[in-house]
Structure 1
Amino acid sequence: MKHDRTLDSAAGPNFHEFLEWAREADENRDTVYEIEKISTRLDLTGEELDLVPADLAYFEKVIAVSPYGAVSRSKDLDAARKRGNSRVRSALQRFLAARGHETPDAGARASYDKAIGFIVENEGFVDSGALFTTSTHKPFLLVRARARLTLPDLDQAEFDRLWCDATPDGRKSLRKFARRVEELRRGHNTWPELAVLLPREDFVVPAATDRARRIPWETLPADFRADAEEVFRQTLRQPADMKTWAKEQMRLGRPATEINAEISARRGHKKKSPRNIATATAGYRQATTWLLRESFSPESGFAGLTNLRELFSTDALEAACEAQIARSEASDTLKKPDESSTLWSRFTNLTTIARHGLRDQEILARIDLVKMFHSDFVLSPIEMTADAEAICDRLRKSPHLAATFVNAPSRLSEIAAHELAQATTDFARDRGLRLSACSAAYAIQVSRALRPANLFMTRNKATPGCPRNLTWIVEEEHAEIRFSGGEVKNGEAIIVHVRGNDARILWQWERIHRPSLMKLRGIDASPYLFPGTAAPRLRKSTLNMPSGCMSVAAIMELWDLGDRQLGLGLTPHQCRHALATLMLAVRPGDFATVASVLANTEQVARRHYGKDSGEAAAMAVRESLLAHHPDIFARMKGRI
């Protein structure tokens, strides 16, 4: 999240001014408390509130979705966060109105009330005579709360504004709203009393402004793709390929000195070949579409795009870099350009292609020069310790979050059991079952934090050419999850042991709740522990990975559902940082164990967690935990 910005008289109101206004205006005490919590929720100090814009759009996209666990120990953190957000949102609207800013007014809201009221009165089972299915009105609620125009006057420009300001969940509601409006307007003769209350036009969902335009590889010209794929094959030549080629050249009578010289030239400075050809090829394709995105338009049929070599111009490289930096700077949700490793990743792939595929020194020089021009934004992942240090700092300031992390599987399992016992609708049952899935995912992560690509690709059933990962050593007591080197990013084999209560939670998900969720969602069969209907994004060259996994969007929704109950604000990958921090708190300086558990090298572990700031933060976490939650050490030692 981004809060650091240069403020001046034209910058608009900020949260410090908002807080002062709330105190002077005698706002409710609970509302003032919620505003004071914002700095902690955003990992800021109270003095840094002036860096946070008092803007409704910023509030919805950044503040409302920020973790709540650091400021509350409520048993129902999701409800507490919603209640707190509601108080701040209402007060912020009053503050902006007092400052003369445009905010939603009561008259506009009333126009939505009429339409929503009519829909609600006629919702139910269509087979029983109801005009609309249950929940038809729900997408209208978000628009009513945010729109500045009445419902009949709502136009595409206002819809675009709402879309731009919305969170990912809000955009889902807006997408449903656009479909509902289209459906209801088509049936205007069936319900004329509603037709006059609806917008006068259908809405087009705009493209995301902070994401690059997607260019599917298959949409590129066939000649260009064929040329690029051949270059990729040259780039990825394996030792066995080189041997075959060399033998063929010797059979044709070519001098051995020439063959040896060409082999040396082809190898260049390449230290090792990629272990996963499919992943490497996907990276080359991604870098290629990134490079051509700003220089060629799909509307023109990619006119002039004939071969990969001609794509590597200085202008194309400059344009791609500048567009990447601009997207990052303009977005509230993307990392800042000098904290992202995207440019490093793109340059690495392009350099590899130029050196080992094209073997063109001029292109290599262009890449190096453009890389130098933007060196402030070319950040290697091994330099990205800010994320790890931020988590260390959060655990130090709020040691109860460490207890929440360690106890996350049990907490989520209890919530899931309660919600399933109370569920009377399919929606409620689906929510309870997904919470059970999230508790199982946490049971694995607190045992040995995996990379998300491995966690959500775990298989409990073998398929042709693809073995299972999950094996029960002792039913309900001890599970073993094993990944071969070909499945892991750095080629290191991983074995995860899930024991005790974590194992019971995992067993309950796999044997009881997983089949129930599959039946509820109409999933016939899936070999994955976390089932879905998607295909793996990156196929492994050593495995015949089947379809039936969760999509990335479904994974993030699942994880977000659990995090709303925990208030940790951790992504699946950030669990690795949290676990490493706690391990170093339990065993100070034991980077070898951290590296072993995270399937990294000790060198990488030291880079991430061994710098003065990271190690000091881990020791501060240790002191805080000893003072507030000494029982965590026994639990952590039992896991490691």
Structure 2
Amino acid sequence: MKMTQLTFRDLLDWAVAHEEGTDTVRAIRYIPARLGMLDHDIATLPADMRFFETSVAGQGYALVSRARNMKSNGRRADSRIRSALRRFLQSKSLLPRPTPAHRQRYTQLMALIEAEEGVPGSGALWNTGRHRSLTILRARANCAPEALNQTEIDRIGREISAEDRKSLRKTVAVVNELKGVSNTLPAIREFLPETDLMPPAGSARARRIDWDGLPAPFRASFEALADACLADSEDLADRMLARIEAGEDPEVVAAEADIRALQEGREVGKPTAARNGYRQAVTWLVRAWEDSGRDTRDLEDVRELFTLETVKAAISQQLKRSDAGADLKAGLDSTTLKTRLTRLITLARHGFEDAGLTAVITLLKTKHYDAPRTKRKASKSCAVIMEVDRIAGKLRQCPELASVWANAPTRITETAQRALDDAVRSEKAAREVTALRLFAGAAAYALQMSRPLRTTCLRHTRIASSGEVHANLLRTSPNERLLTFRFAPWEIKNTAWVNVDVVGADAEILRAWLDQGRPRLIELQGLDPDNIYLFPGGALPSQDEGDPVVLPRGSYSPSAFLELWRDASEELGEHETPHRMRHV
């Protein structure tokens, strides 16, 4: 007999029947609202730990709460739900009962490590706080540390969010490193697993293809194909002249040139990014080729991949993988398939100059992506929701959210200032860095809410010039309440320079960051005092062939900047990426 899927409605009924706390019951009732759903939709939400950790925890605090400290209040609610859900599943024999002895073993190991911690340079075995890396295992492992194995690590990894999976990977590295101090600290041996552990299995994304490992002739054929796609008008003229010199009929070549002249120009502004996109699309086909049982070592020319069979196989794999992956968008909800096929069409049309091949791939795109999406949009029951519609839905559900976002820079700044004051009083440099990063997040919100920018522009905003690299911040008097940032066309995918004016409270936040927070963060992190970026870091910005200048090292990396933004968003109780904030 097939077991019925338990839902959060079952959890709510159980919590009421077992007289769980009022706050716990309320937190469970609020789950649909936090996800932008109706109350009765609680019966459609699966009551399992993985769904809770990946789809509920950390989401929608601002939609159901007006608490001043949204982050702490929301995390308490998540903790209550998590504990109740765990007890509920244990009562149904779907999770093992807790074993206090296991938890005690982790506590003993953590105490042993903590006793050997010290500040950097003190000669201690570990820096202060290293023992806290094991907290996730103490909370989630079903066995003692010495009994840990790969099966248990993978189980934990499947039940947690991508963010927590990063922490688990670090924890696994810490556990493996403990063997290296077993001679210095013999007492730790009784807590060590028998074998080294591997990081938990990650995303359901497709396996990586080693591009450099593919045959050299194949890679050379791709580069020639990409060069043809990226050719400008001067390159095309040279190619046509070469065809005439090779013996082709000049009138035929001239007629083709006239047709091209009448067509809309397609100058590529970011050739490096375009080439990388073409390579990703071809790699997509290579994976399908290899999965069909063929050997990639036999590939000699990129044209071998452009067959109906291979493209259809790649499409089928993409849709199946996306629909089956718990951490991936459904195939038709994602734009990945559209992007891959669009790039293949570009390669066929402008690289191979093969009208027949272009038509075939275009028809495949229509059949497997465009037409199904059109049908879904026509059906209200399963319509594809655009990001702007999703955000509008949140605002209809909770109009107060508009005020939260409008006042986000000020609210985050106030929290950052309180944290900074506490850190200074405690003389804890690490806590001060954390508070200053929150201050940086407030400054990022102040700029982004003044005029929406591409995330890359926001991350690479410069307050000073360096050689040929111009400054985005225009010079102003110290008492001026207006700050103006100016961005060049090559930075913003535009044909004209764009000015961004920051005024009022947002300008005051940015000036405080420039005058106080930013210099202190540079000092604490040992960064270059001459760093030119509004948000100083240590990364080297990626360069594109179409960029007229080369940006120097010293910015945030993409992942680090998104983490900074997410930390700031937590103070609001509602997270939207910098890119999506443009819709707000």
In the alignment, is the contact (CA less than 8 A) between 2:168 and 2:200 conserved in 1? no
Q: Does 2:467 align with 1:464?
A: yes
Cα 1:256/1:464, change in 2 over 3 Å: farther
Match of residue 483, structure 1, among 472, 480, 487:
487
| Distance (whole Å) between structure 2 residues aligned to residue 127 and residue 467 of structure 1 | 40
Q: Secondary structure at the match of 1:338?
A: coil
Q: Deviations over 1:183-237 (max 9, x none)?
A: 2122222222221022222111145232233346444433222211111111122
Match of residue 573, structure 2, among 567, 574, 579:
567
Residue ranges of structure 1 left out of the alignment (5+ in a row): 1-7, 579-640
Report which stretch shifted further, 385-394 or 17-26: 385-394
In the alignment, is the contact (CA less than 8 A) between 1:441 and 1:455 conserved in 2? yes
The one-letter amino acid paired with 1:71 is V
In the alignment, is the contact (CA less than 8 A) between 1:340 and 1:377 conserved in 2? no
CA-CA distance at 1:572 after TM superposition: 0.7
> Residues 206-221 of structure 1: matches in 2 within 5 Å?
206-215=200-209, 217-221=211-215
Match of residue 284, structure 2, among 281, 287, 290:
290
Q: Secondary structure at the match of 2:61?
A: coil
Match of 1:436 in 2: 439
Match of residue 563, structure 2, among 557, 560, 563:
557
In the alignment, is the contact (CA less than 8 A) between 1:62 and 1:333 conserved in 2? no
Report which stretch shifted further, 418-427 or 343-352: 418-427
Residue ranges of structure 2 left out of the alignment (5+ in a row): 378-383
Cα 1:353/1:34, change in 2 over 3 Å: same
Identity of aligned residues (%): 35
In the alignment, is the contact (CA less than 8 A) between 1:481 and 1:495 conserved in 2? yes
In the alignment, is the contact (CA less than 8 A) between 2:319 and 2:331 conserved in 1? yes
Match of 2:358 in 1: 364
| Distance (whole Å) between structure 2 residues aligned to residue 448 and residue 566 of structure 1 | 19
CA-CA distance at 1:540 after TM superposition: 5.7
| Distance (whole Å) between structure 2 residues aligned to residue 91 and residue 146 of structure 1 | 15
Q: Does 2:347 align with 1:341?
A: no
Cα 1:267/1:148, change in 2 over 3 Å: farther
CA-CA distance at 1:467 after TM superposition: 1.8
Q: Secondary structure at the match of 1:23?
A: helix
Question: How many pairs does the alignment contain?
Answer: 568
Match of 1:533 in 2: 538
TM-score for the superposition, normalised by structure 2: 0.90
Match of 1:99 in 2: 92
The one-letter amino acid paired with 1:33 is R
In the alignment, is the contact (CA less than 8 A) between 1:104 and 1:145 conserved in 2? no
The one-letter amino acid paired with 2:281 is A
CA-CA distance at 1:363 after TM superposition: 2.5
| Distance (whole Å) between structure 2 residues aligned to residue 575 and residue 407 of structure 1 | 14
Q: Deviations over 1:404-446 (max 9, x none)?
A: 1111111111111111111132221111111111111111111
TM-score for the superposition, normalised by structure 1: 0.83
CA-CA distance at 1:270 after TM superposition: 5.6
Q: Does 2:58 align with 1:65?
A: yes
CA-CA distance at 1:43 after TM superposition: 1.0
| Distance (whole Å) between structure 1 residues aligned to residue 451 and residue 280 of structure 2 | 30
Cα 1:355/1:128, change in 2 over 3 Å: closer
The one-letter amino acid paired with 2:272 is A
Match of residue 23, structure 2, among 4, 16, 30:
30
| Distance (whole Å) between structure 2 residues aligned to residue 339 and residue 89 of structure 1 | 29
In the alignment, is the contact (CA less than 8 A) between 1:459 and 1:470 conserved in 2? yes
- Name the Cα RMSD after superposition: 2.7
Cα 1:254/1:316, change in 2 over 3 Å: closer
CA-CA distance at 1:400 after TM superposition: 1.4
In the alignment, is the contact (CA less than 8 A) between 2:543 and 2:550 conserved in 1? no
| Distance (whole Å) between structure 2 residues aligned to residue 206 and residue 366 of structure 1 | 41
Q: Deviations over 1:301-326 (max 9, x none)?
A: 93122221111122322232223223
> Residues 219-618 of structure 1: matches in 2 within 5 Å?
219-246=213-240, 256-263=250-257, 272-296=266-290, 302-375=296-369, 386-423=386-423, 424-475=427-478, 477-489=481-493, 491=495, 493-524=497-528, 525-537=530-542, 539=544, 541-546=546-551, 547-578=553-584
CA-CA distance at 1:573 after TM superposition: 1.2
| Distance (whole Å) between structure 1 residues aligned to residue 274 and residue 145 of structure 2 | 50
Q: Secondary structure at the match of 2:30?
A: helix
| Distance (whole Å) between structure 2 residues aligned to residue 104 and residue 290 of structure 1 | 44
CA-CA distance at 1:274 after TM superposition: 2.3
